Amino acid sequence: MKIGFIGTGVMGNAICLNLLKAGHQLWVYNRTKSKTDNLVQKGATWCETPKAVAEQAEVTFSIVGFPQDVEQVYFGENGIFAADITGKYLVDMTTSKPLLAQKIYAEGEKLGAKVLDAPVSGGDLGAKNGTLTIMVGGDQAAYEDLKPVFNDFGKSVHYFGPAGSGQNTKMANQIMIAGTMTGMCEMLVYAKEAGLDLETVLETVGAGSAANWSLSNYGPRILKGDFAPGFFSKHFLKDLRIALDTAKEMNVNLPATEQAEKLYATLVDDKKLGDLGTQGLIKLWWK
């Protein structure tokens, strides 16, 4: 299939490698061109703008940093909507605002395209291993058409309903992760202060009812002093703020998520450590 891909950072680059491995033709764009070099070496074609990507591809994926980046990629002067996208598929995998997903869907439909919002979960390892969880909203027929492509880089793919439903599902996912990340950090802080062997604590806790993905994947990285981003703290803070803003619109109170947002805001905004992985939260306690 002729696939366009916009945004080749930690997640996007790994997804692209799986798409190339599956035999798809690939056109790529990234603001920092060098982040596409390895993909071009493997057969992808570099494009100068998102518009150029969409002109070449049957389906265009995007996964960028923030909602304002999504706006630029789709609605900018050389964005996707500046191309002829009649009959084409557009899939935004950025974790973004449900209302923006609905806006993109409405504009895409007006221009004759089939649009999905399809944020992912699974971090850098899930992207590399092709085992991402993909949460989809938007055009159901388009979802059915693209399921084989989603399966090239995802293990668990589910359709949740109209435009914005994928984003709302990702917000639910991030709310859950917020609790596991804060719980894991405080657990390690407590165990260390109590003089316990932390590796044994991780092994023991991870074998019981407290087992969770954050514990098994990020706990060992913390003990090794590895704070490289499988997922940037600055992006997780963005996600928590979207979740809280959307919850407020629905008159839903999320006090635990509010506290997690405050902790990550301290890490990202106050300590300027937003480029660390989400496991960097432990640095609020440990030097």
Contact by Cβ (8 Å): 137, 130: no
d(CA 5, CA 80) in angstroms, rounded, equals 11
Classified as helix, coil or strand, 276 is coil
Quote the crossing angle between the two packed helices 233-249 and 255-265, to the nearest 10°.
150
Give Cβ neighbours of residue 111 (< 8 Å, ≥ 6 apart): 81, 85, 86
Tell me the HSE value of 219 on the side-chain side, using a 13 A CA sphere.
Answer: 25
- What is the bridge-based pairing of β-strands 114-117 and 132-138? antiparallel
Catalytic residue from among 170, 224, 262, 287: 170
170 among known catalytic residues: yes
The neighbour count for residue 213, using CB atoms within 10 Å, is: 14
Radius of gyration of the chain (CA): 19
The neighbour count for residue 204, using CB atoms within 10 Å, is: 13
> Is the Cα dihedral 236, 167, 158, 116 positive or negative?
negative
d(CA 157, CA 141) in angstroms, rounded, equals 15
Classified as helix, coil or strand, 110 is helix
Specify the amino acid at residue 258: E
What counts of helices (H) and strands (E) characterise the chain?
12, 9
**34: buried, middle or exposed (CB in 10 Å: 19+, 13-18, 0-12)?**
exposed
- Annotated catalytic sites, by residue? 170
